[in-house]
Amino acid sequence: MTLTGLDPDTALVESFDGTAIAVTRFGEGDGLPLLVSNAVGANLAAWRRSLVDIARLRPIVAWDHRGLFGSEPGLSERNDPGTHAEDAIAALDHHDIERFALAAWSNGTRVAIEIAARYPERVAALVLVSGGSGHPPGRLLRLEIASAIPIVASVAKYFAGPLAARFQRLVARPEITGLIRQSGMVGATADTPALVDLLRGMASCDLKTLLASLEAVVGDSGAELLSQIQAPTLMIVGDRDQFTTGRMVQEVSRAVPNCRVIHYEGATHYLPLEYPARLSDDLRAFLAEVGV
């Protein structure tokens, strides 16, 4: 991701089990640092326009999930949300960051919930964008389609080789931008070049590792952690988001002690790509409101 005038610093950081995690830090200003929890298989492309103004005010830290992008494969068998939470803390400790604000998108919100519940004294504010708790398979009985993700991932990982080749060919096609727009998967205002970057970044990852991580993170509910979150919390969701249902939003917002919700009319699951300026404004306003 390119932010004019802001040069990212990337380092490999040793996590709790010795795994080398790729950590990116950028931004300026003396505001409280912001930790970004990306979705599994996603990079900062989803936040490309939303973070520009925020990075002028405060440092921003992000990390790559183990085995994906610049991070090395895990040296232990663990791959649950708690593992990724500890990787995030290693990233922060590397930069001597004790207290921070936390923002997450999509299934990265499941990891963010883990961080906020485990380290309430360190998380000053929490923003969950297009996501909430996990999607365990049992929720399929409530007709929540996102709960099929861990099941599909658990099967697809055994066919990762041929699936990866097809996915890479698809996202490499020059007409991919037009195909995305025709698919209806994002709104008309979406930054489709950023979405293409996001998809091509995903295609560059080891697909078997990505699918195994999706299975472990998305399939873990984390609902029991919500009441343990002490930080003021903001949920930002689109009314066309098929993955973050209204029922889930209600469950999370009621369980988290200090939580409010902002709905974006017309936004899908890819809200950061569709309304980046509004998201930036709402993020900055919320952080200012809670004094961080």
| 189 belongs to a structural domain | no
- The whole-number pLDDT of residue 5 equals 46
| 190 belongs to a structural domain | no
Domain CATH code at residue 40: 3.40.50.1820
| 17 belongs to a structural domain | yes
70-92 residue pLDDT tens: 999 999 999 999 999 999 999 99
- Looking at residues 44-57, what average pLDDT do you find? 93
Count of domains observed in the chain: 1
* Claim: this prediction has a pTM higher than 0.85: yes
Q: How confident is the model at residue 6 (pLDDT cuts 50, 70, 90)?
A: low
| 115 belongs to a structural domain | yes
| 157 belongs to a structural domain | no
Q: Is the pLDDT of residue 239 over 80?
A: yes
- Looking at residues 62-72, what average pLDDT do you find? 98
| 242 belongs to a structural domain | yes
- The whole-number pLDDT of residue 178 equals 87
| Of 124, 112, 273, 267, residue with least CA distance to 192 | 273
Domain assignment of residue 274, given as a range = 9-135+221-289
**Edge-to-edge, what's the strand order for the sheet holding 60-63?**
9-14, 20-26, 60-63, 34-37, 100-105, 123-129, 233-238, 259-264
- The whole-number pLDDT of residue 1 equals 47
| 231 belongs to a structural domain | yes
User: In the predicted model, what is the mean pLDDT of the chain?
Assistant: 94
| Of 106, 76, 85, 82, residue with least CA distance to 35 | 85
| 184 belongs to a structural domain | no
